[in-house]
Amino acid sequence: MLVRRRWDIDERGRGVADAARLVPDAETLVGFMAEQDWVTEEPDAHLLPHVRRLAAQFPLEEMSAEIDGDGVLVVSLRWTDPWDQPAATAAAFALLGSFAEEMTYLRKDEEPGRVVLETVTGVVSDGTFAPHGHTVRIELAEG
pLDDT tens digits, 94-139:
999 999 999 999 999 999 999 999 999 999 988 888 999 999 999 9
Amino acid letter for position 82:
P
Q: Does domain 37-142 sit in CATH 3.30.460?
A: yes
Query: What percent of the chain has pLDDT above 70?
Result: 99
Beta strands in the chain (DSSP E): 60-67, 73-79, 103-111, 114-123, 132-142
Whole-number pLDDT of residue 129? 86
Q: Say if pTM beats, i.e. exceeds, 0.85.
A: yes
Q: Which residue has the higher pLDDT, 8 or 35?
A: 35
Average pLDDT over residues 32-39: 95
Q: Measuring CA to CA, which residue among 127, 131, 109 is closest to residue 32?
A: 131
Residue 110: strand pairing partners: 115
Whether the predicted pLDDT of 10 surpasses 90 = no
Spatial distance between the Cα atoms of 140 and 37, rounded to a whole number of angstroms:
28
Backbone angles phi, psi at 19, to 5 degrees: -120, 30
Give the separation between CA 2 and CA 136, rounded to whole angstroms.
41
